[in-house]
Amino acid sequence: MAKINFGGVIEDVVTREEFPLDKARAVLKNEVVAVLGYGVQGPAQALNMRDNGINVIIGQRSGTATYDKAIKDGWVPGKTLFSLEEATERGTVHQYLVSDAGQMMMWGAIKPHLKKGDALYFSHGFGIVYKDQTGIIPPDFVDVILVAPKGSGTSVRANFLNGSGINASYAIFQDATGRATERTIALGIAVGAGYLFPTTFAREVHSDLTGERGILMGALAGVMEAQYNELRKHGHSPSEAFNETVEELTQSLIRLVAQNGMDWMYANCSTTAQRGALDWRHEFRRAVEPVYEKLYQSVVSGEQTRIVLTANSRPDYKEKLGEELREVRESEMWRAGAAVRSLRPENWKK
């Protein structure tokens, strides 16, 4: 492991330098990795491993759009594409990558096919940490491990293809074989992690649920809407309000942050922008700290889990989700966004 100074705190991380792909291949040479679920993370992790020379099969229910997608991606029914149960029977490592609610519903069908010495792999601590709600209690004869890429499946695949990889956390919940750690790290390297940092199942799910409800998605969308609405209330046009709220952030400023950090972004903006941002960041931080405290406690208590499992288990969930997303898409702000995106130079008609 490499020791890295993260803001004054020394952490152990695993990079591809000390754990190269050849070592991962050697660790996994006798494994059959069954990717159970071909929805969000499944395709990216499966394709990355296949490209890296790992023996991968897919478990996915037939007659679904995701089953058809698996076939289009080159998985062959009866050879590398099976039902969830048969894939579990054939595999030695089981990447349980169906949705959180799906994991709960499918567990009774999956558990009987787990064999002594297998590894049960998650990319989210949800099912294990909230076992009182999900009922997912693995047998004591399997390794229970986690590799959680810090990005969507789309990013996991795109970053792999461009050679950059994507950071991931890893954790060991149960080491039945004595090989759980090397299996986990090998799988992390095989799915294309840029580097791996240790965590626990509980810390992973607590940070993940907080992050996606917070700055990664929920908070970002909420503060964008608040600023856009305030500008529109004072007579600014949709184009101006959207550009000042979203377009400049996504097309310019966030790229500066990604390159060298927030201070570097400030240093490369106007002095007027610098002063205002440095002053107002404290106001915004103080305003949202109580919201984050409430959010984190809701995650740790299991309340967010109850909401997710209840909503996602409803038979009309997809229809209701479609309605909610349509409301966002058809709002003035995001209709303005579609118009702004169409005017980007790369979208001009040749």
Q: Which residues have a catalytic role annotated?
A: 124
Tokens representing 295 are: 């959010």
Residues 6+ apart with CB under 8 A from 73: 43, 46, 47
Distance of alpha carbon 85 from the chain centroid: 25
Distance of alpha carbon 185 from the chain centroid: 18
Q: H-helix or E-strand containing 59? A: strand 56-59
End-to-end CA distance of the chain: 51
Distance of alpha carbon 288 from the chain centroid: 24
DSSP-assigned beta bridge partners for residue 172 = 145
Unique residue bearing structure tokens 């310019």: 252
Tokens representing 219 are: 């908070």
CB contact at 8 A, 91 and 80: no
CA-based angle 298:299:302, to the nearest 5? 85
CB contact at 8 A, 167 and 197: yes
User: How far is it, in rounded angstroms, from Cα 27 to Cα 17?
Assistant: 16
CB contact at 8 A, 75 and 81: yes
